[in-house]
Amino acid sequence: MINRLDLRGRSLSARELVEALPRAEVRVEDAAERVAPIIAAVRSRGADELRDLAERFDGVRPHHLRVPAAAFESALAGLDPLVREAMEETISRVRAVHRAQRPQGFVVDLAPGAQVRQRWVPVGRVGLYVPGGLAVYPSSVIMNVVAAQEAGVPSLAVASPPQRENDGLPHPTILAACALLGVDEVYAVGGAQAVAMFAYGARGTEEQDGATLCEPVNVVTGPGNVYVAAAKRLVRGVVGIDAEAGTTEIAILADSTAHPDHVAADLISQAEHDPAAASVLVTSSVELAGAVEARLKDRAEGTRHSDRVLQALAGPQSAIVLVDSVEQGIEVVDAYGAEHLEIQTADAAAVAERISNAGAIFVGAYSPVALGDYMAGSNHVLPTGGCAHFASGLGVHSFVKAVQVVEYTEQALGQISSKIVAFANAEDLPAHGEAVQVRF
């Protein structure tokens, strides 16, 4: 059902610990070899190539690559009222949290007439990718769009794979979420080709496309499979990206106070995403480990996507990790750097404060990852594969850039001119010093 890794009584270096922990092997390099020709073809052939790729990968050839306005109205009209209410609640909560994320500028006066200011400026245009493989993700529409809107981005475009069941348009629930958010530039384009379209733009090839189907963007964000991650890697530098996000993962740090049903249900909730999803329990309680194993079997076999869940739980990326103590468990989960980390221990809030490496931390028995996936108010687009050691989840900061403004008076520059000249000469760049001296 799930592997066990016993770290009790072992003293491991940081490197040994990282190597010992379960992790999905994501071969972005291999995927990049397959993706590079796709990117080149989209650049050269535009909408024709996007239609060919949709036919090849999605089984449908979209007539409208850009979703027409009537489709949003139809999708919203057909949305289940309870789902609409849930989406609206999620939008409200996510917007409140992201509004608080807006960074503040500053002004520093270093001397009379010597001032440096910093202001935050939103990027001009973003491309937001919403996957559409094994599940439907209107929640990802909300997470991407709200963060960009609260950053003040003036131009937003969304792409999601075309669906055979929806006449070659993205899933109706995706379109309904876009309608609720006021986004009307949406493309029926999936996978690596969507990233290529956003990075380089795409010319239209049929009358309904117009001369230009899609203008290029400045930043591409959103989760996706390994091919989306590979495409992001290849266009990075042409555009900014949020991260090379991989398959989802959950780690749970638990002691004997945790409820095994809660732990098992939470591990399964993330395994449901993908056969390669990672579900990891780190615990100091052998009794809890055994109880969770028993409940995993019953729950996994009874859930709708049991085949997918069972494959994920049995994979090398998932495990129950036994440790001597919560103290050792903190070292383990910090080394793992999970996308989602639950703390189900005594004094969970205090334990959470000691964690440095996690995309998002969920504290206590009533803060499951599923809450963060939808309605906590936090963003669910988070770093995976250990990237939480150096990267943050999606937020307002993903869509803004800092601009420094320098303003010195003649007197302020004169006071330090000789020091600038000395520094320039020390670097053997005398023209730098001369550029200051000429003003005096």
Binding-site annotation: residue ranges for Zn(2+) = 270, 273, 373, 432
Report d(CA 188, CA 327) in Å as an integer: 49
Angle between helices 410-426 and 430-437 (to 10 degrees): 160
Active-site residue (options: 98, 171, 305, 340): 340
Structure tokens that stand for 193 in this block: 């080709």
Give binding residues for NAD(+) as ranges.
Answer: 129, 193, 225
The region that residue 386 occupies, defined by phi over 0 for left and psi between -120 and 50 for alpha, beta otherwise, is left
Is 167 strand, coil or helix?
coil
Active-site residue (options: 150, 249, 339, 342): 339
- The answer to whether 339 is a known catalytic residue is yes
How many CB atoms sit inside 10 A of residue 256's CB? 12
> What is the chain's percent helix, strand, coil content, to nearest 5?
45, 20, 35
Could you tell me if 321 and 360 are in contact, meaning their C-beta atoms sit under 8 angstroms apart? no
Give binding residues as ranges.
Answer: 129, 193, 225, 248, 270, 273, 340, 373, 427, 432
Angle at 202 between CA 196 and CA 207, to 5 degrees: 145
Could you tell me if 168 and 162 are in contact, meaning their C-beta atoms sit under 8 angstroms apart? yes
Q: What counts of helices (H) and strands (E) characterise the chain? A: 17, 16
Is 31 strand, coil or helix?
helix
Structure tokens that stand for 72 in this block: 């949003």
Structure tokens that stand for 178 in this block: 């876009």
- The answer to whether 389 is a known catalytic residue is no
Give binding residues for substrate as ranges.
Answer: 248, 270, 273, 340, 373, 427, 432
**DSSP letters along 92-151, please?**
HHHHHHHHTTPPP-EEEEEETTEEEEEEEEE-SEEEEE---SSS--HHHHHHHHHHHHHH
Catalytic residue ranges: 339-340
